[in-house]
Amino acid sequence: MSDVASRPPLPIVGSILRAPEMLSVLRILTGLLFLEHGTGKLLGFPAGLPFIDQMPGGLLYTTGTLELIGGLLITIGLFTRPVAFILAGFMAVAYFMVHFPQSFFPAKNYGEPAVLFCFVFLYLAAVGSGPWAVRRD
């Protein structure tokens, strides 16, 4: 065992940054960031989302609804596993439909948020909502 692994955690860090609570923080912040995309598309707040004027109407309302409802459910921690699984697939499709045709590299095709959302949602689908949730799973 290494010296680092055998040391006890720092008192302040160990009491504040506990894994279950940080899972809930990750879920809540991810949900709020995702929700923001839905409100921008459907409610116009925040205004001026990039490329929103180039989206076909049906796609705009479909993606906005998924982002709004899915983001809200993820934020409050209700049906986290199934919703996160659906949203992970949604983000994978979004990446390959919109970003990947522009370039192979996410840094070049502006697909980093889609990739990050996809894998955070996949993680949430695997581990659940954490302790701070309307319905823990």
Q: With contact defined as beta carbons under 8 Å apart, do 99 and 105 qualify?
A: no
Cβ neighbours, 10 Å, residue 44: 11
What gap in Å lies between CA 135 and CA 128, rounded to an integer? 10
Contact 65, 77 (CB under 8 A): no
The token pair at 135 is 């319905």
Residue 111 burial (CB count, 10 A):
22
pLDDT values of the chain reduced to their tens digit, one per residue, 137 residues: 455 556 666 666 666 678 999 999 999 999 999 999 999 999 999 988 888 888 888 999 999 999 999 999 999 999 999 999 999 999 999 999 999 999 999 999 999 999 999 999 999 999 999 999 999 87
Q: In this predicted structure, what is the pLDDT of residue 102? A: 95
The distance in angstroms from the start CA to the end CA of the chain is 33
What letter represents residue 62's amino acid?
T
